[in-house]
Structure 1
C-alpha cells in the first residue's frame, strides 16, 4: 500500500534502545490473502543480548532458535511464549544478538479482519499485548527471519510521533538485575498499551 512506505535499512542500524524508542508511532503492516492489517506501534522493549540477562541472546546464546539475531538488523525474530507467537525486530551489529520486542499497537487498517482473528468486546483489548497483536494481525512463526524492508510484513513511517514514557520491562522477574532496567518504552497515556 502506497500510504505505508517501508522504512529504509539505515533506520534499523541505530542503537537498540534508540531503535526501541524510534519504533513508537511507526506502522507495523501485514499483507495476507485475506487483506492488509496495520497498526501504530505504541509499546516496545529493548533486549541487549550478551549484556542483558533477560535477552534470548544471553540465555540461549547462538542456537538455531536465536540464529537470526546474530545477523543483520531489520529482520524478524519470532518466538513462542505460553503458546503465543511474539515478534521482535533484530537490532545491533552483526554478531550482537540484540532485539526490540513489539509489545502493543493501535489497530488502524483492517480492524474487521483483526477482529475475525481475535474477537474482543473492547477494541483496546485487541492488540494491547505482544501475543494479542500477532494473533490479530495473523503473524505466525513463519515470519522468522523475514526482512522488514518488504512485504508481506514490514514497518512503515510513523503517522504521528507521540510522547514516550520509559520504565521497567514486563514478565522477566527471573532475570536478576536486568528486571529493573528501564528498557520498556510506550506512548504516554495510550489506551492500547499493555497492562
Structure 2
C-alpha cells in the first residue's frame, strides 16, 4: 500500500525496539517467517486493539466490502526491553489454542496481528484526518485518540474531517493483514 484513499481502513501502530530487539532485526525476521510459513505474527500488547473485540470485527467489516486492510507503522524511538519470550500457542477465538508454526517467532507479546506481507512504504498522514473505526470512541479523530501513551488504533482515513492543523506522521512500513487477522498468544 503506497497511498491512502478516503474511507481506507487501516491499523496504525508505533513501532521500534520490541522485546530487546531492534526494528531492523524484527523486519528481517518477519520477512523470513512470511517466506517460510506464509504469514508472520506482528506481536503487541496493551489495552487497545484487542484481537477479538477490535481488530477482527474491524477487519472483517472491511473484507465484506472487498477491501484488504493493512497495518501501517510509524517508527519511533522506543525502549521495550521486556523478556524476549517466544509465544508457543495462539487462539483466534480465545477458546481454542493451537501450536504456533515452528518458523514463526513472536516474542514478548500478548497479542499478534497476522500478516502476509511486510514492505517499506512512504505514506504521510495527518492523524486529525483519520477517525477511530470501532469501539466506544468510534468517530473520534485518530489524533485525539492517540494522545498520551496510546500507540495503536483501528483507523479510517477521512481527509474531509474539519479540524485544526496537525503534524504529518510518516508511515514507513506496510503489512497486509491475513485471516484470522489477530490472535491471542500464550
TM-score normalised by structure 2 residue count: 0.29
Q: Which has the higher helix share?
A: 1
* Structure possessing the higher relative contact order (Cα contacts under 8 Å, 6 or more residues apart): 2
| More strand as a share of residues | 2
TM-score, scaled relative to structure 1: 0.28
